[in-house]
Amino acid sequence: MLSKKTKYALHALTYLGKHREEKTVLIHDIAEEHGISHKFLENILLELKKAGMLGSKKGKGGGYYLIKDPKEIPLSKVIRLLDGPIALLPCVSLNYYEPCSECKDEATCGINKVMIQVRDETLKILENKTLEDILKT
């Protein structure tokens, strides 16, 4: 399951996507709309900004705005950023690889082999579903 961080990020991105004609959107408005903590959301938006999905304007009259086309924001990117690996095991993660301690030999481990296949197929899904898909429904 996705963490609340990722879930909130998706809601925030959706909100920003729906308000693209406005110059900026306040954290406060997004938080209120979904009944989530302003301060918690603040950290999340900051991460999305650092990852290049959002822009911001400081000071009075400031706020956040999308700086990417929604179809350029795949779910895989949001999930990886806030939740970490998409792979089911560390030993098959492309972005967060770590060996599995209980596995004697990765090269001959059947679990490893199958999880690589699962990862590749899962990635196909999550790289193809984008913010645009969320916005257009």
Partner DNA sequence: ATAAAGTCTATAAAAAAGATAGGGTTTATA
Partner DNA sequence: TATAAACCCTATCTTTTTTATAGACTTTAT
By the criterion CB under 7 A, which residues form the site for DNA?
3-5, 24-28, 36-37, 39-40, 42-43, 45-46, 49-50, 56-64, 83-84
In 3D, which of 134, 129, 131, 128 has the Cα closest to residue 66?
A: 131
Contact region for a second copy (CB under 8 A) — 20-28, 42-50, 51-59, 97-105? 97-105
Shortest CA distance to 54 belongs to which of 94, 87, 20, 79?
20
18 to 13, 64, 116, 123: CA distances (angstroms): 9, 13, 36, 26
Mask of contacts with a second copy, 31-70, x by CB under 8 A? --xxxx----------------------------------
Does 85 participate in binding a second copy (rule CB under 8 A)? yes
